[in-house]
Amino acid sequence: MTHLPTPELKFFADLSVQVDKPIEVGHTVHGTRRLIPILGGTATGHGWTARVLPGGADFQLIVNAQMAELDARYALETDAGDLIYVTNRAIRTASPDVMAKLIRGEVVNPASVYFRCTPSFETASQALSWISERLFIGTGARHPDRVVMTFFEVL
């Protein structure tokens, strides 16, 4: 049998995404739905920066007292003027009491929350086209006014 390489991770970017108050849709047939408007923010990689454009949102499904599925969609504008469309799916789990604090917008210790994501990128930029051809994973933390994440390219 051929030995396949074990994937490695390479730092891609740190993001800080400013968010507004949640829009509580309520309990639906699939779970509790929330929309979190994205107000702006920053992204910083090796040798580049970008701003998170306002107008995106994080579409959340609170599956149960311990788990939320996140689906954030937003755009970045790099310091070179290139636009990047981001789709970032995530899972956030914690004990029911920690999750309840997060949902209420309270401060929690990020170490008590499992927050992993799989961002993907689309761009019309020829210089950045490679990001649409790679897999990325990340880790994050939710704060009352922002979400911070670190994204890694899977090598």
Q: Is residue 1 part of a domain?
A: no
- Give the residue numbers spanning the domain of 121: 9-154
Q: Which residues pair with 141 in a beta bridge?
A: 148
Q: Is residue 63 part of a domain?
A: yes
Q: Is residue 43 part of a domain?
A: yes
In the numeric block, which tokens belong to residue 141?
């933390």
Q: Is residue 120 part of a domain?
A: yes
The 10s digit of each residue's pLDDT in 66-77 is 999 999 999 999
CATH number of the CATH domain containing 116 = 2.40.160.20
Residue whose entry in the numeric block shows the structure tokens 């579409």: 59
Q: Is residue 2 part of a domain?
A: no
pLDDT confidence tier of residue 138, bands split at 50, 70 and 90 = very high
| E strand or H helix that includes residue 102 | helix 96-103
Q: Is residue 4 part of a domain?
A: no
Integer distance in angstroms from the first to the last C-alpha of the chain? 21
The 10s digit of each residue's pLDDT in 24-76 is 999 999 889 999 999 999 999 988 999 999 999 999 999 999 999 999 999 99
Q: Is residue 126 part of a domain?
A: yes
Domain total in the chain: 1
| CA 108/CA 84 separation, integer angstroms | 31
In the numeric block, which tokens belong to residue 76?
């970045």
The 10s digit of each residue's pLDDT in 89-135 is 999 999 999 999 988 889 999 999 999 999 999 999 999 999 999 99
Alpha carbon 22 to chain centroid, angstroms: 16
Q: Is residue 3 part of a domain?
A: no
